[in-house]
Amino acid sequence: MNGQDLHSSRGYSAHPLLAVSGLTRRYGGLVAVSNLDFEIRAGEILGLIGPNGAGKTTTFNLLSGHVKPSGGTLMFDGASIVGLAPHEISRRGLVRTFQHESFFRDMTVLENLVIAGNRRWRTQQQRADGAHAIAARVGLEKHLDMIAGSLPHGLQRLLSVGIAISTKPKLLGLDEPLTGLHTVEVANVLNLFRTLCREDGTTILIVDHNMKAMMGICDRFIVLQYGKMLAQGSAEEVRNNPEVIGAYLGTAQ
């Protein structure tokens, strides 16, 4: 299947929602990310993969404004986001989760979701209704009254996803969202991601080490090694790339 056929069958656009050019981050003499060029197309699910230390999390932090680039450009929805604070980037529609859950641990699940939807829903009733709807989407409807910090690890992951989608992002960045989830939870979350993308129009960027799940859901992949682009392409192209196999996959997937 060629690129044009892939666009048609998967339904995403050739329009770049995020265009990255020459993205670089240096820490003294260490170059964590080096001259990256790639695009995230509106309506696709893009996987960012690579071995530990490849620069995936640094790239995420650069895109979301948590780390400032040493060089390069970041164009999101047609405008530069270089130098913007994380909350400013989030307000423009680029929202991300973290490897370590980011929520109010002493508040309930419901309270966290209501707060996350403050900008989206105007009235108290709309926020409550919206929070209940989000909880149902991520499988937390039975846990609304639980203190967030007391949730099992897998459910905390789901809450982080729920908080992110409460803002109705244009581009949702997911940093290891499947870690700690059991098989049924993984399947449910993947179905949620497909629905967000195919029905809600949310573009998704995922970093995760569950390669079976990633190969099944991502339209394309960016593969990093030592902060540089190693390869990019479809799941088939990546899993059969000798350099990717040698550096990361180990055997053909």
CATH of the domain at 242: 3.40.50.300
Helix, strand, coil tally for the chain in percent (to 5): 40, 25, 35
- Two tokens, residue 100: 């370590």
Give the pLDDT of residue 247: 84
Orientation angle between helical segments 153-166 and 183-198, nearest 10 degrees: 10
Is 156 domain-assigned? no
The CA-atom distances, in angstroms, between 180 and each of 17, 142, 194, 210 are 30, 19, 20, 11
Instruction: Quote the number of domains for the chain.
Output: 1
**Residue 32 belongs to some domain of the structure:** yes
pLDDT along the chain (253 residues), means of 10: 39 78 95 96 95 92 96 96 95 85 88 88 88 91 95 87 90 90 87 90 94 94 95 93 86 49
Is residue 178 within 8 A of residue 146, CB to CB? The reply is no
Residue 140 lies in a domain: no
Is the CB of residue 228 less than 8 Å from the CB of residue 234? no
Written as one string, the DSSP assignment of 123-185 is SHHHHHHHHHHHHHHHT-TT-TTSBGGGS-HHHHHHHHHHHHHHT--SEEEEESTTTT--HHH
pLDDT for residue 35:
96
pLDDT of residue 9: 41
- Stretch (H or E) spanning 91: helix 86-91
- Domain assignment of residue 144, yes or no: no
- Domain contains 104: no
Q: Is residue 253 part of a domain?
A: yes
Alpha carbon distance 230, 226 (integer Å): 9
pLDDT score for 99: 63
Q: Is residue 96 part of a domain?
A: no
User: Which domain, by its residues, includes 30?
Assistant: 9-83+204-253
Q: Considering the domain boundaries, does residue 191 fall inside one?
A: no
pTM comes to: 0.86
Q: How far is CA 122 from the centre of its chain?
A: 26
Quote the CA–CA distance of 77 and 97 in Å, as a whole number.
Answer: 20
**186 CB-near residues (< 8 Å, 6+ apart):** 178, 210, 213
Length of the chain in terms of residues written: 253
Single-letter amino acid, residue 188: N
